[in-house]
Structure 1
């Protein structure tokens, strides 16, 4: 009832105030989201460092796809925390990947690629790092430079998510060899 009694000038002032409040709220939400992303990245870095500095013996398996593949799975307190996949050399490219998990969810992916057809007479090396929250990449680095992610969402059917559920070496082989 009060709103109906306001003058045109009062309504305009309210609109300006509400618009400013909305802008401040949107900015605050963006800052909070950015702070959360920074905190998440810091947490991921700490978790990865913790996993890499533990003296955890891997469960090792090898099998043939196109080339001999080597897979090491690392468990801490009975939970899978890391999978290292050495794809070997296919053609003139050598590749390996590491997947890090926290409570059954992918949090970090590291890729290393060496060689390739565009690199005659040199040894070209690339490293890719994906920081992941809720199966979405929140930060992506190529050779320590921030870039647009190649894979920005890890669907449930992505190998990184399927591997954590694999219970046997045969399941791991089927996922990685795409059989």
Structure 2
């Protein structure tokens, strides 16, 4: 009798473990599908923003040790909502350009390009893409590789919202360099 009870107990554990693994696998697959669908929606929004009729306002800024020839360009949709911000500048032998895309006031995508290198050496170029939903990073890419998100993607989120606030104050150097 004890052997039968032990056998039932062991079988119950095996069934529970199998069910848990199956459920975990389904949750992971669903999560991957949700992420893929969200990224597809972000790409569609990106295309729509870049093909829509928008108005733009351009501002210049500089800050010693932070940015030379800094420029911030705001793009507005028909409802006067900020849908895109392009911030660029240079310092020393390097330059950058960052694009931030918004939907309903929330950052959904950022693209950053950095070009630079020593004056007597080869030029290097780096690209960073961050896909965001609900202020959470869905995917971070360095050049063409998907990598774990980190400081660079967190910086994109912070910078984008600082730039939105800076639109009202016009203190761009303070927002980006301070």
In the superposition, the TM-score normalised over structure 2's length comes to 0.83
> 1:1-179, aligned counterparts within 5 Å?
7-66=5-64, 67-76=68-77, 77-87=79-89, 89-117=90-118, 120-151=120-151, 154=154, 158-178=158-178
Runs of 5+ consecutive residues of structure 2 not aligned to the other structure = none
Distance 2:111 2:13 in 1: 49
Contact 2:100/2:111 (<8 A) preserved: yes
Distance 1:109 1:15 in 2: 47
| Residue 142 (structure 1) shift | 2.2
Deviations 1:91-129 (A, max 9, x none): 000111111112222111111111223x74433222211
> Secondary structure at the residue paired with 2:154?
coil
| Residue 23 (structure 1) shift | 0.9
Task: Tell me which moved more, 40-49 or 161-170.
Answer: 161-170
- Runs of 4+ aligned structure 1 residues displaced above 6 Å come to none
| Residue 153 (structure 1) shift | 5.4
Change in 2 beyond 3 A, CA 1:134/1:151: farther
| Residue 22 (structure 1) shift | 1.0
Distance 1:32 1:129 in 2: 23
Q: Report what 1:3 is aligned to.
A: none
- Number of residue pairs matched? 171
Runs of 5+ consecutive residues of structure 1 not aligned to the other structure = 1-5
Distance 1:145 1:157 in 2: 20
| Residue 47 (structure 1) shift | 0.9
| Residue 74 (structure 1) shift | 1.1
Distance 1:80 1:128 in 2: 22
